[in-house]
Structure 1
Amino acid sequence: MVPKTLAENAGLNAMEIISSLYAEHASGNTKVGIDLDEGFFALKYAADAACTVLRVDQIIMAKPAGGPKRDPPAGMDED
């Protein structure tokens, strides 16, 4: 269950990963696992998207709210 979920969350083909793990374990190589360094795009793209959203949010929050400043009409008091 864990390798399948890990492979799916990593954006890999879960069936291919599970079958290769079974084959390796059947041949006696029990110290194998899923290589997430190659092909782990889901986490990388999610982190990139989050950073982009945060950068855009910083840009929006840095700008003052409201429209252009205008002078009050002539002859009007401040109160």
Structure 2
Amino acid sequence: MDIISKLYEKHASGNAKVGIDLKRDDPEDGVCKDVSTVNVWDLYVTKFLALKYAADAACTVLRVDQIIMAKPAGGPARRDQLAGMDED
């Protein structure tokens, strides 16, 4: 919570290039750093659009599957029986 609040504080002060450094080998794990100085260019917009388009693709596949399953199975149509005739 402390790291996230520090990140919000830095973004509110106008420094939008600040991110969280999560390297495991760094003794200062989880420190807010300027990502442009450590050459990290991973954008939120890229991840957001990737998830959005993945969800759209999944919905399209489900819609196509629903259309295919809604069609009746193939085979000859059942004929109407004459009145008075037994089924066997």
* TM-score in terms of structure 1 length: 0.41
Q: Which is strand-richer, 1 or 2?
A: 2
Q: Which gives a bigger RCO, structure 1 or 2 (Cα 8 Å, sep 6+)?
A: 1
* TM-score in terms of structure 2 length: 0.38
Q: Which is helix-richer, 1 or 2?
A: 1
